Amino acid sequence: MELSCPYRQHDGLMPIDPCMDYLSIRDAEPVRRDDDLGVWIVTGLRQVTELLRSPALSSAWPERGRTRLHDEQSGTADGMRTADIVRRWFMFNDAPRHQRLRSLIAPLFSANRIADLQPFVEECVDVLLDAVTEQIDMMSELAVPLASRVVCRVIGLPQDVAPRIAVWASDIAALLVADYLPEVVQRGTLALEEIEQVVAAAPASVSVGTALEILRGAHRDGRIEEQDIAATASLLVFAGFDTTSSFVGKAVRALMHSGQWDAVTPERIPTLVEELLRFDTSVQQVARVAVSEVDIEGHRIQPGDLVLLMLGAANRDPEVLANPDVLDAERHNSRHLAFGYGAHYCLGSGLARLEVGAALNGLVRRWSRVELAEPPVLRPHHGVAVMEHLRLNVHS
Protein backbone atom coordinates (compact mmCIF):
# COMPACT_ATOMS: atom_id res chain seq x y z
CA MET A 1 0.00 0.00 0.00
CA GLU A 2 1.31 3.49 -0.86
CA LEU A 3 2.01 5.51 2.27
CA SER A 4 1.29 8.83 0.63
CA CYS A 5 -1.64 10.72 -0.78
CA PRO A 6 -2.49 9.03 -4.10
CA TYR A 7 -2.99 12.37 -5.80
CA ARG A 8 0.72 13.02 -5.47
CA GLN A 9 1.40 10.23 -7.93
CA HIS A 10 1.74 12.17 -11.17
CA ASP A 11 0.17 9.67 -13.51
CA GLY A 12 -0.71 12.23 -16.17
CA LEU A 13 -4.36 12.31 -15.22
CA MET A 14 -4.04 14.41 -12.08
CA PRO A 15 -1.00 16.73 -12.21
CA ILE A 16 -1.83 18.47 -8.92
CA ASP A 17 -2.95 17.31 -5.53
CA PRO A 18 -6.47 18.67 -4.84
CA CYS A 19 -5.85 18.08 -1.13
CA MET A 20 -2.69 20.18 -1.10
CA ASP A 21 -4.26 23.38 0.24
CA TYR A 22 -5.20 21.89 3.56
CA LEU A 23 -2.37 19.34 3.75
CA SER A 24 0.17 22.17 3.71
CA ILE A 25 -1.49 24.10 6.55
CA ARG A 26 -1.78 20.87 8.55
CA ASP A 27 2.00 20.83 8.92
CA ALA A 28 1.96 24.08 10.92
CA GLU A 29 0.77 24.51 14.52
CA PRO A 30 -2.69 23.02 15.16
CA VAL A 31 -3.86 26.48 16.33
CA ARG A 32 -2.33 29.58 14.79
CA ARG A 33 -3.12 33.16 13.95
CA ASP A 34 -3.12 34.26 10.29
CA ASP A 35 -2.16 37.90 10.53
CA ASP A 36 -2.73 38.54 6.82
CA LEU A 37 -6.44 37.73 7.07
CA GLY A 38 -6.81 38.50 10.75
CA VAL A 39 -8.30 35.08 11.57
CA TRP A 40 -7.44 31.99 13.60
CA ILE A 41 -6.81 28.72 11.75
CA VAL A 42 -7.30 25.43 13.59
CA THR A 43 -6.23 22.13 11.99
CA GLY A 44 -5.84 19.50 14.72
CA LEU A 45 -8.69 17.03 15.12
CA ARG A 46 -8.73 17.30 18.91
CA GLN A 47 -8.62 21.09 18.84
CA VAL A 48 -11.27 21.42 16.11
CA THR A 49 -13.57 19.05 18.00
CA GLU A 50 -13.10 21.02 21.22
CA LEU A 51 -13.92 24.33 19.56
CA LEU A 52 -16.92 22.96 17.66
CA ARG A 53 -18.59 22.25 20.98
CA SER A 54 -17.37 25.39 22.77
CA PRO A 55 -20.13 27.80 23.88
CA ALA A 56 -17.57 30.60 23.54
CA LEU A 57 -17.75 30.34 19.76
CA SER A 58 -20.82 31.45 17.83
CA SER A 59 -22.05 30.10 14.49
CA ALA A 60 -23.41 33.55 13.58
CA TRP A 61 -20.27 34.56 11.68
CA PRO A 62 -22.20 36.08 8.73
CA GLU A 63 -23.54 38.63 11.20
CA ARG A 64 -20.50 39.12 13.40
CA GLY A 65 -17.38 37.79 11.68
CA ARG A 66 -15.25 39.82 9.31
CA THR A 67 -11.78 39.46 7.81
CA ARG A 68 -9.39 42.20 6.73
CA LEU A 69 -10.56 41.68 3.16
CA HIS A 70 -14.04 42.85 4.19
CA ASP A 71 -12.71 45.87 6.03
CA GLU A 72 -10.43 46.85 3.14
CA GLN A 73 -13.24 46.60 0.59
CA SER A 74 -15.86 48.40 2.63
CA GLY A 75 -13.55 50.89 4.29
CA THR A 76 -15.23 50.31 7.64
CA ALA A 77 -14.87 47.74 10.40
CA ASP A 78 -18.58 47.41 11.08
CA GLY A 79 -21.56 46.10 9.17
CA MET A 80 -22.92 42.61 8.52
CA ARG A 81 -21.99 40.14 5.82
CA THR A 82 -23.85 38.12 3.16
CA ALA A 83 -27.62 38.69 2.98
CA ASP A 84 -30.48 38.76 5.45
CA ILE A 85 -31.92 35.51 4.13
CA VAL A 86 -28.57 33.75 4.71
CA ARG A 87 -28.22 35.20 8.19
CA ARG A 88 -31.57 33.56 8.93
CA TRP A 89 -30.24 30.08 8.12
CA PHE A 90 -30.37 28.05 11.30
CA MET A 91 -26.82 26.79 10.70
CA PHE A 92 -25.70 30.41 11.16
CA ASN A 93 -27.63 30.90 14.38
CA ASP A 94 -27.10 29.87 17.98
CA ALA A 95 -29.55 28.62 20.58
CA PRO A 96 -32.44 29.04 21.03
CA ARG A 97 -33.23 30.02 17.40
CA HIS A 98 -30.96 27.35 15.99
CA GLN A 99 -32.60 24.62 18.04
CA ARG A 100 -36.12 25.80 17.25
CA LEU A 101 -35.67 25.83 13.47
CA ARG A 102 -33.49 22.72 13.36
CA SER A 103 -36.02 20.72 15.38
CA LEU A 104 -38.72 21.61 12.85
CA ILE A 105 -36.74 20.13 9.96
CA ALA A 106 -35.03 17.26 11.80
CA PRO A 107 -37.87 14.72 11.30
CA LEU A 108 -37.28 14.91 7.54
CA PHE A 109 -33.86 13.34 8.08
CA SER A 110 -34.75 10.64 10.61
CA ALA A 111 -33.69 7.06 9.94
CA ASN A 112 -37.25 6.15 8.93
CA ARG A 113 -37.55 9.04 6.48
CA ILE A 114 -34.18 8.24 4.95
CA ALA A 115 -35.34 4.66 4.50
CA ASP A 116 -38.51 5.96 2.83
CA LEU A 117 -36.37 8.02 0.43
CA GLN A 118 -34.14 5.10 -0.53
CA PRO A 119 -36.35 3.76 -3.37
CA PHE A 120 -36.58 7.25 -4.89
CA VAL A 121 -32.81 7.76 -4.69
CA GLU A 122 -32.08 4.36 -6.20
CA GLU A 123 -34.63 4.96 -8.96
CA CYS A 124 -32.94 8.29 -9.79
CA VAL A 125 -29.57 6.55 -10.02
CA ASP A 126 -31.00 3.82 -12.26
CA VAL A 127 -32.66 6.31 -14.60
CA LEU A 128 -29.49 8.38 -14.91
CA LEU A 129 -27.18 5.40 -15.44
CA ASP A 130 -29.53 3.70 -17.90
CA ALA A 131 -28.74 6.53 -20.34
CA VAL A 132 -25.01 5.78 -20.24
CA THR A 133 -23.30 3.74 -22.95
CA GLU A 134 -19.49 3.82 -23.06
CA GLN A 135 -18.63 6.98 -21.14
CA ILE A 136 -20.11 8.93 -18.24
CA ASP A 137 -19.39 12.35 -16.82
CA MET A 138 -19.81 11.68 -13.12
CA MET A 139 -20.67 15.28 -12.38
CA SER A 140 -23.07 16.40 -15.13
CA GLU A 141 -24.66 13.00 -15.73
CA LEU A 142 -24.93 11.60 -12.21
CA ALA A 143 -23.82 13.65 -9.18
CA VAL A 144 -25.43 16.97 -10.14
CA PRO A 145 -28.82 15.71 -11.39
CA LEU A 146 -29.08 13.14 -8.57
CA ALA A 147 -28.47 15.67 -5.79
CA SER A 148 -30.76 18.21 -7.48
CA ARG A 149 -33.70 15.81 -7.79
CA VAL A 150 -33.35 14.62 -4.21
CA VAL A 151 -33.25 18.20 -2.93
CA CYS A 152 -36.46 19.01 -4.78
CA ARG A 153 -38.11 15.91 -3.33
CA VAL A 154 -37.11 16.73 0.25
CA ILE A 155 -38.06 20.41 0.08
CA GLY A 156 -41.24 19.94 -1.91
CA LEU A 157 -40.30 21.76 -5.11
CA PRO A 158 -41.43 20.63 -8.58
CA GLN A 159 -38.83 18.46 -10.31
CA ASP A 160 -38.58 20.93 -13.18
CA VAL A 161 -36.74 23.21 -10.74
CA ALA A 162 -33.90 20.69 -10.39
CA PRO A 163 -31.80 21.88 -13.39
CA ARG A 164 -31.54 25.36 -11.86
CA ILE A 165 -30.15 24.26 -8.51
CA ALA A 166 -26.50 23.83 -9.53
CA VAL A 167 -26.16 27.47 -10.62
CA TRP A 168 -27.92 28.72 -7.50
CA ALA A 169 -25.70 26.65 -5.22
CA SER A 170 -22.53 27.81 -6.98
CA ASP A 171 -23.43 31.48 -6.63
CA ILE A 172 -24.43 31.06 -2.98
CA ALA A 173 -21.16 29.21 -2.27
CA ALA A 174 -19.24 32.19 -3.67
CA LEU A 175 -21.31 34.56 -1.54
CA LEU A 176 -20.32 32.67 1.60
CA VAL A 177 -16.57 32.99 0.95
CA ALA A 178 -16.15 36.16 -1.11
CA ASP A 179 -18.96 38.51 -0.11
CA TYR A 180 -16.48 41.41 -0.17
CA LEU A 181 -16.71 41.38 -3.99
CA PRO A 182 -19.67 43.33 -5.47
CA GLU A 183 -20.20 40.93 -8.40
CA VAL A 184 -20.33 37.97 -6.01
CA VAL A 185 -22.92 39.72 -3.86
CA GLN A 186 -24.98 40.52 -6.95
CA ARG A 187 -25.03 36.94 -8.26
CA GLY A 188 -25.55 35.39 -4.84
CA THR A 189 -28.40 37.76 -4.02
CA LEU A 190 -30.06 36.98 -7.36
CA ALA A 191 -29.83 33.24 -6.69
CA LEU A 192 -31.45 33.67 -3.29
CA GLU A 193 -34.21 35.83 -4.78
CA GLU A 194 -34.95 33.21 -7.43
CA ILE A 195 -35.15 30.47 -4.79
CA GLU A 196 -37.54 32.65 -2.79
CA GLN A 197 -39.75 33.07 -5.87
CA VAL A 198 -39.78 29.33 -6.59
CA VAL A 199 -40.60 28.54 -2.97
CA ALA A 200 -43.49 31.02 -2.94
CA ALA A 201 -44.88 29.54 -6.18
CA ALA A 202 -44.66 25.88 -5.09
CA PRO A 203 -48.23 24.54 -4.82
CA ALA A 204 -49.40 22.84 -1.63
CA SER A 205 -50.12 19.66 -3.58
CA VAL A 206 -46.40 19.30 -4.36
CA SER A 207 -45.21 19.92 -0.81
CA VAL A 208 -47.11 17.23 1.12
CA GLY A 209 -44.75 15.51 3.58
CA THR A 210 -41.89 17.86 2.80
CA ALA A 211 -39.93 20.75 4.28
CA LEU A 212 -42.29 23.29 2.74
CA GLU A 213 -45.32 21.65 4.33
CA ILE A 214 -43.60 21.74 7.73
CA LEU A 215 -42.41 25.33 7.35
CA ARG A 216 -45.72 26.65 6.05
CA GLY A 217 -47.53 24.93 8.90
CA ALA A 218 -45.12 26.40 11.45
CA HIS A 219 -45.72 29.86 10.02
CA ARG A 220 -49.50 29.46 10.20
CA ASP A 221 -49.12 28.43 13.84
CA GLY A 222 -47.00 31.49 14.58
CA ARG A 223 -43.87 29.49 15.42
CA ILE A 224 -41.70 31.06 12.71
CA GLU A 225 -41.74 34.22 10.64
CA GLU A 226 -42.72 34.16 6.97
CA GLN A 227 -39.14 34.99 5.92
CA ASP A 228 -37.96 31.80 7.61
CA ILE A 229 -39.78 29.67 5.02
CA ALA A 230 -37.66 30.85 2.10
CA ALA A 231 -34.55 31.14 4.26
CA THR A 232 -34.71 27.53 5.45
CA ALA A 233 -35.60 26.31 1.97
CA SER A 234 -32.59 28.11 0.50
CA LEU A 235 -30.37 26.55 3.16
CA LEU A 236 -31.64 23.10 2.18
CA VAL A 237 -31.12 23.89 -1.51
CA PHE A 238 -27.51 24.92 -0.93
CA ALA A 239 -26.45 22.41 1.72
CA GLY A 240 -28.40 19.49 0.29
CA PHE A 241 -27.02 19.96 -3.20
CA ASP A 242 -23.53 21.39 -2.86
CA THR A 243 -21.97 19.02 -0.36
CA THR A 244 -23.62 15.87 -1.71
CA SER A 245 -22.89 16.42 -5.39
CA SER A 246 -19.29 17.34 -4.54
CA PHE A 247 -18.89 14.27 -2.39
CA VAL A 248 -20.13 11.89 -5.09
CA GLY A 249 -17.48 13.26 -7.47
CA LYS A 250 -14.71 13.30 -4.87
CA ALA A 251 -15.49 9.74 -3.79
CA VAL A 252 -15.14 8.36 -7.30
CA ARG A 253 -12.04 10.45 -7.99
CA ALA A 254 -10.36 9.24 -4.79
CA LEU A 255 -11.11 5.61 -5.56
CA MET A 256 -9.79 5.92 -9.10
CA HIS A 257 -6.56 7.67 -8.16
CA SER A 258 -5.78 5.37 -5.25
CA GLY A 259 -6.32 2.33 -7.47
CA GLN A 260 -9.01 0.97 -5.18
CA TRP A 261 -12.02 0.85 -7.44
CA ASP A 262 -12.01 -2.94 -7.11
CA ALA A 263 -12.65 -2.47 -3.38
CA VAL A 264 -16.13 -1.15 -4.16
CA THR A 265 -18.57 -3.99 -3.55
CA PRO A 266 -22.16 -3.63 -2.31
CA GLU A 267 -21.41 -5.15 1.09
CA ARG A 268 -18.34 -2.95 1.67
CA ILE A 269 -19.84 0.34 0.54
CA PRO A 270 -21.07 1.56 3.99
CA THR A 271 -17.60 1.24 5.56
CA LEU A 272 -15.90 2.59 2.46
CA VAL A 273 -18.14 5.67 2.42
CA GLU A 274 -16.93 6.62 5.91
CA GLU A 275 -13.30 6.40 4.81
CA LEU A 276 -14.08 8.45 1.70
CA LEU A 277 -15.77 11.08 3.85
CA ARG A 278 -12.70 11.29 6.05
CA PHE A 279 -10.23 11.28 3.20
CA ASP A 280 -11.57 14.16 1.10
CA THR A 281 -14.61 15.73 2.69
CA SER A 282 -16.77 18.17 0.77
CA VAL A 283 -16.81 20.80 3.53
CA GLN A 284 -13.19 21.71 4.08
CA GLN A 285 -13.83 24.31 6.76
CA VAL A 286 -16.45 25.94 8.93
CA ALA A 287 -16.26 29.36 10.53
CA ARG A 288 -17.04 30.50 14.05
CA VAL A 289 -16.74 33.87 15.78
CA ALA A 290 -15.70 34.19 19.42
CA VAL A 291 -18.21 35.75 21.81
CA SER A 292 -15.94 35.35 24.85
CA GLU A 293 -12.30 34.53 25.50
CA VAL A 294 -11.05 31.06 24.60
CA ASP A 295 -7.71 29.65 25.76
CA ILE A 296 -6.38 26.80 23.62
CA GLU A 297 -2.88 25.46 22.97
CA GLY A 298 -1.29 28.43 24.70
CA HIS A 299 -3.23 30.96 22.61
CA ARG A 300 -6.02 33.29 23.67
CA ILE A 301 -8.81 33.87 21.17
CA GLN A 302 -10.48 37.21 21.88
CA PRO A 303 -14.18 38.14 21.54
CA GLY A 304 -14.90 39.14 17.97
CA ASP A 305 -12.11 37.01 16.50
CA LEU A 306 -13.04 34.91 13.47
CA VAL A 307 -11.98 31.25 13.73
CA LEU A 308 -11.66 28.88 10.76
CA LEU A 309 -12.00 25.22 11.77
CA MET A 310 -10.35 23.17 9.04
CA LEU A 311 -12.34 19.93 8.90
CA GLY A 312 -10.37 18.50 5.98
CA ALA A 313 -7.04 18.96 7.71
CA ALA A 314 -8.40 17.62 11.00
CA ASN A 315 -9.58 14.48 9.23
CA ARG A 316 -5.94 13.94 8.16
CA ASP A 317 -4.43 14.56 11.63
CA PRO A 318 -1.39 12.26 12.01
CA GLU A 319 -1.58 12.66 15.79
CA VAL A 320 -4.86 10.77 15.77
CA LEU A 321 -4.79 8.50 12.73
CA ALA A 322 -2.09 6.19 11.36
CA ASN A 323 -1.19 6.94 7.73
CA PRO A 324 -3.87 9.62 7.38
CA ASP A 325 -2.94 10.39 3.75
CA VAL A 326 -3.76 6.83 2.72
CA LEU A 327 -7.21 5.98 1.45
CA ASP A 328 -7.60 2.62 3.17
CA ALA A 329 -10.65 0.65 2.07
CA GLU A 330 -10.23 -1.59 5.12
CA ARG A 331 -10.12 1.23 7.64
CA HIS A 332 -12.96 1.23 10.15
CA ASN A 333 -13.12 4.77 11.43
CA SER A 334 -16.17 6.83 12.25
CA ARG A 335 -14.19 9.50 14.09
CA HIS A 336 -14.16 12.06 11.34
CA LEU A 337 -15.55 15.57 11.08
CA ALA A 338 -16.94 15.47 7.55
CA PHE A 339 -20.36 16.41 8.92
CA GLY A 340 -19.13 18.60 11.75
CA TYR A 341 -19.67 17.87 15.42
CA GLY A 342 -21.95 18.78 18.28
CA ALA A 343 -25.16 20.82 18.09
CA HIS A 344 -24.52 21.77 14.44
CA TYR A 345 -23.80 18.24 13.20
CA CYS A 346 -25.14 18.01 9.66
CA LEU A 347 -28.81 17.02 9.60
CA GLY A 348 -28.46 15.60 6.10
CA SER A 349 -25.58 13.24 6.86
CA GLY A 350 -27.73 10.13 6.50
CA LEU A 351 -29.14 11.32 3.19
CA ALA A 352 -25.66 12.14 1.85
CA ARG A 353 -24.47 8.65 2.79
CA LEU A 354 -27.50 7.15 1.05
CA GLU A 355 -26.91 9.10 -2.16
CA VAL A 356 -23.21 8.33 -2.53
CA GLY A 357 -23.79 4.71 -1.57
CA ALA A 358 -26.53 4.38 -4.19
CA ALA A 359 -24.31 6.02 -6.81
CA LEU A 360 -21.38 3.69 -6.13
CA ASN A 361 -23.64 0.65 -6.00
CA GLY A 362 -25.27 1.60 -9.29
CA LEU A 363 -21.89 1.93 -10.98
CA VAL A 364 -20.41 -1.37 -9.80
CA ARG A 365 -23.59 -3.31 -10.56
CA ARG A 366 -23.51 -2.19 -14.18
CA TRP A 367 -19.85 -2.16 -15.09
CA SER A 368 -17.04 -4.51 -14.14
CA ARG A 369 -14.36 -1.99 -15.08
CA VAL A 370 -14.15 1.80 -15.12
CA GLU A 371 -11.23 4.06 -15.96
CA LEU A 372 -10.55 7.77 -16.19
CA ALA A 373 -11.18 9.01 -19.72
CA GLU A 374 -9.33 12.29 -19.18
CA PRO A 375 -8.06 14.46 -16.33
CA PRO A 376 -10.79 15.75 -13.99
CA VAL A 377 -11.70 19.34 -14.75
CA LEU A 378 -11.50 21.63 -11.71
CA ARG A 379 -12.65 25.23 -11.77
CA PRO A 380 -11.57 27.76 -9.15
CA HIS A 381 -14.63 29.66 -7.98
CA HIS A 382 -13.82 32.49 -5.56
CA GLY A 383 -11.63 30.37 -3.33
CA VAL A 384 -13.57 27.13 -3.81
CA ALA A 385 -12.35 24.40 -6.17
CA VAL A 386 -15.37 23.11 -8.09
CA MET A 387 -15.19 19.81 -9.93
CA GLU A 388 -16.93 20.44 -13.23
CA HIS A 389 -16.19 17.18 -15.06
CA LEU A 390 -15.06 13.70 -14.13
CA ARG A 391 -15.34 11.55 -17.24
CA LEU A 392 -15.02 7.79 -16.99
CA ASN A 393 -14.93 5.05 -19.60
CA VAL A 394 -17.10 2.16 -18.50
CA HIS A 395 -16.92 -1.47 -19.54
CA SER A 396 -19.30 -4.34 -18.86
Predicted local distance difference test score (pLDDT) of residue 65: 55
Span 26-67, pLDDT tens digits: 777 899 999 888 899 999 999 999 999 999 999 998 876 555
How many Å separate Cα 279 from the centre of its chain? Answer: 14
327-348: average pLDDT: 90
DSSP H or E segment with residue 296: strand 294-296
Distance (Å, rounded) from C-alpha 162 to C-alpha 165?
Answer: 6
Q: What is the pLDDT of residue 308?
A: 93
What pTM value is reported for the model? Answer: 0.90
pLDDT of res. 106: 97
Above 50 in pLDDT, residue 320? yes
Higher pLDDT, 72 or 313: 313
H or E element in which residue 23 lies: helix 20-26
What is residue 325's predicted lDDT score, i.e. its pLDDT? 86
Q: For 124-183, what is each residue's pLDDT tens digit?
A: 999 999 999 999 999 999 999 999 999 999 999 999 999 999 999 999 998 888 887 889
Inform me whether the pLDDT recorded for 13 exceeds 80.
no
| Tens digit of each residue's pLDDT (9 = 90 or more) over 82-105 | 678 999 999 999 999 999 999 999
**pLDDT at residue number 384:** 64
- pLDDT of 303 > 60? The answer is yes
267-273: long-range contacts, CB 8 A cutoff, minimum separation 24: 268/329, 269/357, 269/360, 269/361, 270/353, 270/357, 271/329, 271/331, 271/332, 272/329, 272/360, 273/353, 273/356, 273/357, 273/360
Q: Which of these CATH numbers, 2.40.37.10, 3.40.50.10860, 1.10.630.10, 3.40.1010.10, describes 6-395?
A: 1.10.630.10
Q: Is the pLDDT confidence value at 11 over 50? A: no
Quote the pLDDT of residue 8: 44
Mean pLDDT (the chain, rounded): 88
pLDDT at 73 > cutoff 60: no
Beta pairing partners, 391: 137
b vs e for 102-115, b when ≥16 Cβ sit within 10 Å of the residue's Cβ?
bebbeebbeeeebe
